[in-house]
Structure 1
């Protein structure tokens, strides 16, 4: 995702990937409502085929309706992470990203002007030098360790298994079943394959370098449920823990982190991959602007300022869900309390916004309009060229000034930034879709930077996010 965003912003990008070929494994089976929106703004949703969303979600296994919050749902379900990887790989490649597989990074040097990485490759030891390096290399990130990022948090307290199995014909346990010796989940994936998760009380949380055997998983399943699945066949097996950690900073000099390299947590609510995608969309245009020489002061640092709190919020809610979901009898009062609280619409709105990512609002600075800092709502529009939408206006990865009042003063104020910001005059198909704002300035990541009527305040916001007028370099 980051490679595609960088290419949209005009930056040259090389992706070095340790795997020679995709693993085909899929820890994630979908993405959140907010990740779905950002895929849509880049025109990627049709590549996934038919998408199914669910109004019903859960918090720590306690079910509730997410659609109590406008535009919310539990996300796209049943999309294997391997398919998401294929879609994004193809998209980034089409945009000109140079993707090199079989490269294992072993060293890096940030000399303050460039970053050089050394890697073992199929052709031997090679080096690459670039202006910046972003570690998108997972929870055990080599880049994070080599660059010396601090990664504090809470150590694991329990170990768990995940496996996709065939030939078992299991009873569906979509939200998990708590039994005296642990918790098990089972969900059909289609084609006779079922996803199972096994959390046995007392399983040591020690990190392991190898994947568990299916026999280990089947043994644990039988100890918890009394059922044998030993006759089944696993397509893949993995182990994970409830460790929660977050890098104290997302940038050190010319090295940055995104996704699991920056934060790890219990996979509760399917938020992990989507949070990484949102990191990438926030970082991509800012890093491309920095490489292109037009970024205003502080733009690249705003990546940490905006995404670190968002990541911390994910860590908080997944830890809470783990206590509710995985605890034994001692957690029964907590589960009863959450069940009671989730009868209230305000609680539903709060939790669905948190897990979907729809409640994220970045620092609005001096702007006080309720839309500023939030993502622009997905709304249908009518303009001189016909029907369009806020989503379609973002396809090119540029900033967008949407003038719904046909105000020539606003368009004239934005004219000096026309290379980086596209001005569009269109009226909404629904009444008051932008909370009374006749014009909105939208950043390339889809978040509103300004909303109002004043040309002077618009130009101040344009300078803050898009630098000097076109032709000037920061």
Structure 2
């Protein structure tokens, strides 16, 4: 049987895999996505797009079609440990201070539509059965009867129970789960006064009673997203993540928490999850890389999972594309692990802390800690710290360079260019790096690689971007900045060479 050849094969058509497929296709890299499911899972799942993820999606023109599908309701701040103080992202100067809420499957639909329009392919019903890496690439065998796939690189985006990870025997160290809970999209035919009528701050949507804890989020009309778990009794010994969730089980939980007047009208889908915490030790194993839940899992607190994976894809995409196309400096692809592994480790760390604070049956000591922590969250400095942590806006990569902006995001400023007004985010639509000159420091005869765009622009007088000239990577993070022409002459060529080999594209 002949092999299917491609530059990159991505295993898993969730938000991480499809974002990566878009990024690679945007850079002209031939990409094939293998997905074991024959059709998209239409479960709401993780659908909170945090501020930094929203900014990255906006920079590619992907956010607006998602916002048009957003779940209706008032804007609500992000949360930490389900505590009753919303996180305010306003001090971080973002256009998206509140998470954008929509079902995960609709996020996937937008991403797949845009990725395939650029030439990426998605092959469904293709579960991976074997992965054979060698020095030049990877060969993948699937269950769908299609030909084996031969690719230069493989990226595993196939979830917490990654088949790729298991096929290669890659360890997934960490802590096993301590409970199983249920996530379900349901319809109610009757609702008591205890059922929330509109989406609000998360503490108003949580409740516990009669041996259950629960969170119920209105999705419009009679539809709700229900999350619940039991406490005060042991789960049946034969209960696993794959045990089907029956309507009777869901109805019993609803009655226990929301009263006999709350009647289940139907279940659209339901699944179980745990609070396990794990992370692979290396995000790259030769020609195989790991992203999203295939690389890290954690308790579902603070709406981090989808965002962590999508940001993995934005970090990896341009680096892998440059490597495949042959204009990446040595070691560029390895910076994916160096930059993203610590980010996920930090998320695992703070979701573990949230897990303690969010315990539905806290000890007397934890209850006291929660009261004090809630008071601390009302202090502006504490709230800013936590909002930056949860939203991703505080993320700072360890990028070499003396300027204080290196490794940081730049807020999406209004700009005036010779071609007219624009926004900083709009400059990243092609997926290129951007050399932004706001002080006339870059000489006219500067020599740039093909995927670095020079933009001369001015922000409003009241806006200070923090430097006279900035080199921003395709994912929007500053990799060089300067305030005088001499630094531009001396440092800029070295900064460009650190990310893109000087030459044609």
TM-score w.r.t. length of structure 2: 0.87
Q: Is the 8 A contact 1:420 1:470 kept in 2?
A: no
* Aligned mate of 2:227, from 197, 201, 205: 197
Q: Does 1:37 align with 2:55?
A: yes
Displacement after TM superposition at 1:308 (Å): 0.6
Specify the alignment match of 1:59 in structure 2: 80
Distance 2:59 2:226 in 1: 33
Displacement after TM superposition at 1:314 (Å): 1.3
Q: Is the 8 A contact 2:37 2:126 kept in 1?
A: yes
Q: Is the 8 A contact 1:218 1:228 kept in 2?
A: no
Offset from partner CA, 1:404-436 (integer Å, 9 cap, x none): 112243x544x232x02000101012434312x
Specify the alignment match of 1:85 in structure 2: 108
Distance 2:87 2:278 in 1: 30
Specify the alignment match of 1:457 in structure 2: 491
Q: Is the 8 A contact 1:55 1:67 kept in 2?
A: no
Distance 2:282 2:497 in 1: 26
Displacement after TM superposition at 1:194 (Å): 1.1
Distance 1:127 1:260 in 2: 25
Question: Kindly tell me: are residues 131 and 269 of structure 1, through their superposed partners in 2, closer, same or farther at Cα, counting changes over 3 Å?
Answer: same
Distance 2:303 2:370 in 1: 20
Specify the alignment match of 1:372 in structure 2: 406
Q: Does 1:248 align with 2:278?
A: no
Question: Kindly tell me: are residues 87 and 434 of structure 1, through their superposed partners in 2, closer, same or farther at Cα, counting changes over 3 Å?
Answer: same
Runs of 5+ unmatched residues, structure 2: 1-18, 197-202
* Aligned mate of 2:415, from 378, 381, 388: 381
Question: Kindly tell me: are residues 379 and 193 of structure 1, through their superposed partners in 2, closer, same or farther at Cα, counting changes over 3 Å?
Answer: same
* Aligned mate of 1:220, from 253, 266, 273: 253
Displacement after TM superposition at 1:68 (Å): 4.6
Specify the alignment match of 1:272 in structure 2: 305
Q: Does 1:22 align with 2:63?
A: no
TM-score w.r.t. length of structure 1: 0.93
Q: Aligned Cα RMSD in Å? A: 2.0
Question: Kindly tell me: are residues 397 and 332 of structure 1, through their superposed partners in 2, closer, same or farther at Cα, counting changes over 3 Å?
Answer: same
Q: Does 1:391 align with 2:412?
A: no
Distance 2:458 2:399 in 1: 25
Distance 1:74 1:244 in 2: 28
Q: Is the 8 A contact 1:182 1:328 kept in 2?
A: no
Distance 1:126 1:67 in 2: 49
Question: Kindly tell me: are residues 423 and 78 of structure 1, through their superposed partners in 2, closer, same or farther at Cα, counting changes over 3 Å?
Answer: same
Distance 1:224 1:403 in 2: 58
Specify the alignment match of 2:14 in structure 1: none
Distance 2:383 2:90 in 1: 7
Task: Give SS of 1:267's match.
Answer: coil
Q: Does 1:169 align with 2:191?
A: yes
Distance 2:376 2:455 in 1: 44
Runs of 5+ unmatched residues, structure 1: none
Specify the alignment match of 2:375 in structure 1: 340
Distance 2:325 2:32 in 1: 16
Question: Kindly tell me: are residues 134 and 65 of structure 1, through their superposed partners in 2, closer, same or farther at Cα, counting changes over 3 Å?
Answer: closer
Q: Does 1:70 align with 2:104?
A: no
Offset from partner CA, 1:422-473 (integer Å, 9 cap, x none): 00101012434312x0000010111111110312211111011112x1149x
Offset from partner CA, 1:27-68 (integer Å, 9 cap, x none): 023211111111100011221244577352321112234135
Displacement after TM superposition at 1:227 (Å): 4.0
Q: Is the 8 A contact 2:315 2:475 kept in 1?
A: yes
Q: Is the 8 A contact 1:30 1:75 kept in 2?
A: no
Distance 1:404 1:15 in 2: 40
Distance 1:234 1:310 in 2: 36
Question: Kindly tell me: are residues 180 and 412 of structure 1, through their superposed partners in 2, closer, same or farther at Cα, counting changes over 3 Å?
Answer: farther
Aligned length: 464
Specify the alignment match of 1:139 in structure 2: 160
Q: Does 1:95 align with 2:98?
A: no
